[in-house]
Amino acid sequence: MFTGIITDIGEVVSLEQQGDLRARIATAYPVGEIDIGASIACDGVCLTVIGTGSEPRGWFDVQISAETVSKTNIGRNGWMVGKRVNLERALKLGDELGGHIVSGHVDGVAEIVGKLDEGDSTRFTFRAPEALAGFIAQKGSVALNGTSLTVNEVTGAEFGVNIIPHTKEATTWGSAKVGDIVNLEIDTLARYVARLQEWAGR
């Protein structure tokens, strides 16, 4: 589990197709403290660490299945060497829950369709897939590229969020632009409420 509070910006330094896609991500995390088999959210996608190293700088390797590539912006944007990605290590018992509960299981992708500076902050507008739009509510939470964000408004399949200066500096949102495809994870509570309603209506 994760909180959607980004703690590092990593960089994809190599990609290799070995049946599945294997990616090496440079990080400022102390790699000696990262266990093989640990989970790290990379742009909101929960990936399993299969190797670590420290030359020429700290890095970890992850293996990405074809299913994950097809369902996330790894496939839609096409990860490439040099891409910067939001990173978050898995939540530990006793950690502060500063965002909201995030599983790292991306539900789909959304497109940035609007960007407007409002003072020092930036208002982004996203278009969600129709199948997921009903799970997004005003003042509810979403995870976008792994970042816990509050929804400001919803109009049909489009919704807006406000990115404050700190978030732009601490994540990749400072370089986001219209047309970008981002990973979208709906709020876990919304998912289960919808499932309960579906079951009750049978």
- Residue 115: per-residue pLDDT: 98
* Cα–Cα distance measured from residue 50 to residue 189, given in angstroms and rounded to the nearest whole number: 31
Q: Is the distance from CB of 76 to CB of 83 less than 8 angstroms? A: no
- Residue 76: per-residue pLDDT: 78
Topology agreement, domain 8-89 and domain 108-200: yes
pLDDT at 201 over 90: no
37-55 pLDDT, tens digit each: 999 999 999 999 999 999 8
pLDDT band at 78; cut points 50, 70, 90: confident
- Residue 19: per-residue pLDDT: 86
Looking at CATH, the fold of the domain delimited by 108-200 is given as: Elongation Factor Tu (Ef-tu); domain 3 (2.40.30)
Q: Is the distance from CB of 184 to CB of 106 less than 8 angstroms? A: yes
* Least confident span in 117-126, 132-141, 173-182, 193-202: 193-202
Say which residue, 68 or 188, is predicted with more confidence. 68
pLDDT band at 195; cut points 50, 70, 90: low
CATH 2.40.50.1070 is held by the domain 8-89: no
Domain ranges in the chain are 8-89, 108-200
* Residue 147, Cβ density class (10 Å: 0-12 exposed, 13-18 middle, ≥19 buried): buried
Taking alpha carbons only, the member of 138, 147, 61, 139 closest to residue 104 is: 147
Q: Which helix (H) or strand (E) holds 66?
A: helix 66-71
